[in-house]
Structure 1
Amino acid sequence: MSSKPGISARDKSMQASPIRKLVPLANAAKEKGVTVYHLNIGQPDIETPHEILDAFKKIDVKTIAYSPSQGESKYLNSLVKYYDRVGIKGLKTSDMVVTMGGSEAILFAMMAICDPGDEIIVFEPFYTNYNGFAVMANVNLVPILTHADDGFHLPSAEKIEEKITSKTRGVLICNPNNPTGTVYNEKELDMLADICKKHNLYLLSDEVYREFVYDGKKHISALSLESVSDRVIMMDSISKRYSACGVRMGCVVSRNAELMNLIVRFAQARLSSPYAEQMVSAEAVNISDADMNKMIDEYKKRRDIVYEALESNPDIICKKPRGAFYVIVKLPIKDADKFSSWLLTDFRHDNKTVMVAPASGFYATSGQGKDEIRLAYVINRDHLKDAMSILAMAIKEYQKIEKK
């Protein structure tokens, strides 16, 4: 009797993305002519800057060859210039490796500091794909819960240190935060620096939303923490900053030469990042501050629309996000996963509905986020107002269903 070969144990630990797992339901609704407002995924609708689009048209080579594994010098030098402009001084091209999006940067960072079975502390809710990267790298994420009532800011040093074991290799943050929109302050970053120095840990900082801070808040890069300059690993991407998610360009940055030497060898194993994308990404350094500020202001206006709509419902709990373009929302319902599916399969208003991301997938602790969703305010303001109105009606309707 023949049997199929088995697959790896990762099948049991690799979760489906809460951001993308409902796509078949959304597609089925669209095939029936339903308008679906996408608040589930951080795919901006703002136009990619012309500097990037024009650069694609200007590529003039006879053969598109492999790039150096570390990255094209033109792109690396443009990154040095960019980081200097945003206040991260003194970086050299040798401190960087170009990656295929921020995702590869995070995976490389995990593999560079961890052996199989080692641990990285994360603060939940956290970017759901950290789970997937950890599974691929055979790393265990150790979650520490943060709470909406204090804006999802970090817990005390004592609570963090309680989770440190002999297997702990680092602490991972996303600042500004996806999915909460929290912007960590100087006191929090100094606390993490002290913990990492005391316990001989790395500080991994995902900073892809650096520019998107509101209400006078200021982003502080972990690379500015001089006391742990050789322990900081920063992961970055152009995807959200320049509304260029499909370009898949990122980088990993550290002043730790030994660590970067290992990451270069990881990069060599996958040969190179795409040449064309590096050439066009190098032009992003020419995007004016005025154009960037216009984009930031647009997201702030969208944030205000979403928050004002949510705040008008006394049964909803959320904190005003101060950065990125996401918000975690606690709903007056029992099961946000079922609600998110129901929105796509059963609920319509004027033949329109809303797609959201159930928040349980942004937690590692079982049972957390069961009544929460994440919203991404990445569609235009008129559509966003309509989507929030539809969502409010859907919540009321679903509450009636749950009471039956």
Structure 2
Amino acid sequence: MIKAISNRGQAQPASPMRRLEAPYLKMKEIRSHIYPLNIGQPDIETPPSYMDVYRNFPGPTIKYGPSGGLTEYRKTLSDYYANCGISLTPDEILVTTGGSEAIIFVFAAITDPGDEVIVPEPFYANYNGFANMVGARIVPVTSQAETGYALPPISEVESKISARTRAIMICNPGNPTGYAYTEKEIKDLKTLCLKHDIFLVSDEVYREFVYDGTHHSILSESGFESHGIIVDSLSKRFSLCGARLGQVASHNKAVMDAILKMGQARLCPPTVEQYAAMEVHKLGQDYFDGIRKEYQKRRDTVFDGLMKTEGVFCKKPRGAFYIQAKLPVENTVEFAHWLLTEFEMNNETVLVAPGNGFYATKDIGFDEIRIAYIIESGQLARAMDILREGLSAYPGRR
């Protein structure tokens, strides 16, 4: 009999965002419509300029590219960051096969097996899986719905630091919370990381999607050259989830050299996609202004709908395209399954993501859901009506 798979393989967590995929596919054959609010797949059209390059690539052969990304594309990214107030040379940016690979490479570069990364929870659930893949461990510090999932007091964050701590990681603005960190919070984290000589890793995939106030990047802070690392992606910014283009950015040469060697092991990131991405970066601020306005409208639609629903609690998020909300139920895993498979309004229903999957601490988040507002506002309003009626009819409502 063949030997069992590795402990790492057995410990690898399944994605909580996709735990209802099987019943969803079954119910799609039965319901006239299911509003999919469980996964952050934007419905915004991919820019035509990207598709034009992709369809009309002139070369007879799609060849390997440089392991760190095309030189001209890294220059494009350097210019993009400069427009965001972040000074990075092309050599301080490495292109990855999506933001997921960027995070895996960073974890692999800065941790050894058994090392720890502190992350405010709730957090993007796949961080757990990425850490497990390299033998690292996520140490959560719990934020509260009552504060809109703001950074916990810095003393609480510091109390989680141990001899095995290698980094603090944030998502800014946050998935699943939509929380956008303040300038003071970024400065407090910088001070803490410098004090303990640990890295601050910032997932800034949703940088453009801040609706109230401005975005504060860790690499816009001076005096943080050795300790700050950005992971980034085009997936949400330009509706390019399937293109699998991301990047790592840091002034720390040792970190970037290590990541480049990891990139060499997988040869190169997608090549045609990089040429196409150079075109979409020419769109400018007008493009983002329009997208931001649309997502803000959607956020307001969902938030207003939740506020009309008895027993629901949430704060209005400032960024990303998610809302994490508390519901008057004991177990949103059971509620989400019931809503999908047993409840309907005019043969329509809603698919949401149970909130506990975004926590590393056991037994919390079971009264929360994440809503991704990635469909147009009229559909979102209808989805909120269905959710409201579903909660009213749910046998397990508190």
CA offset digits 1:209-236 (Å, max 9, x no partner): 0000112x11011111212221101000
- Secondary structure at the counterpart of residue 205 of structure 1: strand
Residue type of the alignment partner of 2:36: H
- Which deviations, in whole Å up to 9, do the C-alpha atoms of 1:354-403 show, x marking residues without a partner? 000001110000011011100000001111111111111111111x3457
Distance across 1 between alignment mates of 2:346 and 2:104: 43
Structure 2 unaligned residues grouped into runs of 5+ = none
Instruction: Give me the TM-score of the superposition, normalised by structure 2.
Output: 0.98
Structure 2 residue aligned with 1:58: 56
In 1: Cα distance, 2:127 partner to 2:377 partner: 30
Aligned partner of 1:317 in structure 2 is 313
Aligned letter for 1:373? Answer: I
Question: In the aligned structure 2, how far is the partner of 1:47 from the partner of 1:142?
Answer: 37
Matching of residues 253-268 of structure 1 within 5 Å: 253-268=249-264
1:28 corresponds to: 26
Deviations 1:12-51 (A, max 9, x none): 4222211111111110001224311000010010111112
- Give the TM-score of the pair, scaled to structure 1: 0.97
Map 1:271-350 onto structure 2 (within 5 A): 271-350=267-346
- After superposition, residues 66-77 of structure 1 pair within 5 angstroms as 66-77=64-75
Distance in 1 between the 2:121 and 2:348 partners? 32
Alignment partners' CA distance in 2, 1:395 and 1:13: 34
Gap runs ≥5 in structure 1: none
Structure 2 counterpart of 1:213, which letter? V
Give the match's secondary structure for 1:276. Answer: helix
Deviations 1:302-347 (A, max 9, x none): 0000000111124111110100000101000011001111122111
Partner SS for 2:5: coil
Report which stretch shifted further, 206-215 or 282-291. Answer: 282-291
For 2:114 and 2:247, the matched residues in 1 are separated by 25
Tell me the C-alpha RMSD between the 2 structures. 1.1
Aligned partners of 1:30, 1:315: CA distance in 2, in Å?
29
Question: Residue type of the partner of 2:225?
Answer: S
Letter in 2 for 1:332: P
Q: Identity over aligned residues, as a percent? A: 46
Counterpart residue identity of residue 27, structure 2: A
Alpha-carbon distance in 2 for matches of 1:144, 1:401: 29
Q: Provide, for residues 152-180 of structure 1, a one-character-per-residue CA deviation record: whole Å limited to 9, x for no partner.
A: 11122211111111100000000011110
| Displacement over 3 Å in runs of 4+ | 400-403
Equivalent residue runs for 1:2-401 within 5 Å: 3-89=1-87, 91-215=88-212, 217-398=213-394, 400-401=395-396
Residue 4 of structure 1 deviates from its aligned partner by 3.6
Partners of 1:169 and 1:257 in 2: how far apart?
Answer: 17
2: CA distance, partners of 1:12 / 1:314: 41
Deviations 1:43-101 (A, max 9, x none): 01011111211121231101111111010112111101111112112x11110110011
Rounded to whole Å, the distance in 2 between the matches of 1:11 and 1:100 is 22
